[in-house]
Amino acid sequence: DTGVSQDPRHKITKRGQNVTFRCDPISEHNRLYWYRQTLGQGPEFLTYFQNEAQLEKSRLLSDRFSAERPKGSFSTLEIQRTEQGDSAMYLCASSHRDRGYEQYFGPGTRLTVT
Amino acid sequence: DAKTTQPPSMDCAEGRAANLPCNHSTISGNEYVYWYRQIHSQGPQYIIHGLKNNETNEMASLIITEDRKSSTLILPHATLRDTAVYYCIVPWAAGNKLTFGGGTRVLVKP
């Protein structure tokens, strides 16, 4: 399968702990996006990269959140000092630069903060 | 993003065509209409997009009205696996972020 993969698929953590998620995009895609989805809502944009450069961050991305894409391939999303409100599905997507709105999503990482 | 309006839910009989409407009356001349769907517990899936001509691919057809203020996604022969939330999106922002609204929850019934 050459689609977008995310790891882990599920994460349960206690409030105050740090968590890190990984996303591996489709190999030929140079754009990578992170979205967050809470129950019953549509996905909300968090941030995106073109190659290794982080070009945009949503206001939803508080100081506790950081994302990296060090070599322009896989990306990590870290949440520090997790709060119960961080419980959500974290989705990663990738696209080719010339077809940016045609995004291919991974299965998501479901985070539960207890 | 141009605002889109979709019915919150609709049912469809298995094997019949499902016609999903979307209003985007504030769309501008160079904005495309994109459709995605999200099956339960999966990430969204790109379906199709168009500017002003009708489009068809292996998943669906997209009909855009001449004034471009509305469109219809057609699933020609709905199956149970087409049960999902369908999102109509008119993105414009630089960076290609997608803004998902409420979508239409489609239930295909046997």
- Hey, of B39, B51, B55, B98, which one would you mutate to test binding to chain A, going by the most A CBs within 10 A of its CB? B98
Smallest CA–CA distance from A95 into chain B, residue: B96
Cβ–Cβ under 8 Å, residues A14 and A106:
no
Kindly determine whether residue B97 and residue A106, on different chains, have CB atoms separated by under 8 Å. Answer: no
Of A91, A95, A103, A106, the closest CA to residue A34 belongs to A91
Task: Tell me the one-letter amino acid at B99.
Answer: T
Residue-wise pLDDT for B42-79, tens only, equals 999 999 999 998 999 999 999 999 999 999 999 999 99
| Residues of chain B found within 8 Å of residue A108, distances taken between Cβ atoms | 42-43
Contacts of A86 (CB under 8 A, 6+ apart): A79, A111, A113
pLDDT of residue A47: 95
A72 contact B CB<8A:
no
DSSP B42: S
- Other C-beta atoms closer than 10 Å to the C-beta of A51 total 13
Question: Is A45 in CB contact (< 8 Å) with chain B?
Answer: yes
Share of chain B above pLDDT 70, in %: 95
Nearest CB to B87; choose among A42, A55, A95: A42
Report the 10 Å Cβ neighbour count for A110: 17
Sequence-separated (6 or more) residues with CB below 8 Å from residue B8: B102, B104, B105
What are B22-31's pLDDT values in tens digits? 999 988 888 8
Phi, psi of B78 (to 5 degrees): -65, 140
A23: Cβ contacts below 8 Å, ≥ 6 apart? A4, A5, A6, A32, A34, A74, A75, A76, A77, A92, A106
Amino acid identity at A78: E
| Test mutation, A37, A101, A102, chain B, max B CBs within 10 A | A101
pLDDT of residue B28: 84
| B chain contacts of residue A43, beta-carbon cutoff 8 Å | 44, 98, 100
Instruction: Say if A25 is an interface residue toward chain B (CB within 8 Å).
Output: no
pLDDT digit string (tens) for A39-73? 989 999 999 999 999 999 998 888 999 999 998 89
pLDDT for the residue B26: 87
> What's the maximum distance between 2 C-alpha atoms anywhere in chain A?
41
Quick one: pLDDT band at residue B40, thresholds 50, 70, 90? very high
The pLDDT assigned to A46 comes to: 95
Q: What is the pLDDT of residues A8-39, one digit of tens each?
A: 999 999 999 999 999 999 999 999 999 999 99
Q: What is the dihedral of CA A32, A38, A40, A44, to 10 degrees?
A: -40
CB-facing half-sphere around the CA of A112: CA atoms within 13 A: 5
Give residue B96's pLDDT band: very low, low, confident or very high (50, 70, 90): confident
**In angstroms, rounded to a whole number, what is the distance separating the alpha carbons of residues A113 and A83?**
6
Asked if B99 lies within 8 A of A101 by C-beta distance, the reply is no
Residue of chain B with shortest Cα separation from A55: B95
B2 vs B45: which has the higher pLDDT: B45
Interchain pair A48, B97: CB under 8 A = yes
Write down the residue that tokens 């119960």 correspond to: A84
Cα separations in angstroms, B106 against A52, B17, B38, B47, B109? 38, 12, 10, 15, 10
Say what the pLDDT of residue B1 is. Answer: 55
Beta bridge partners of B84: B106
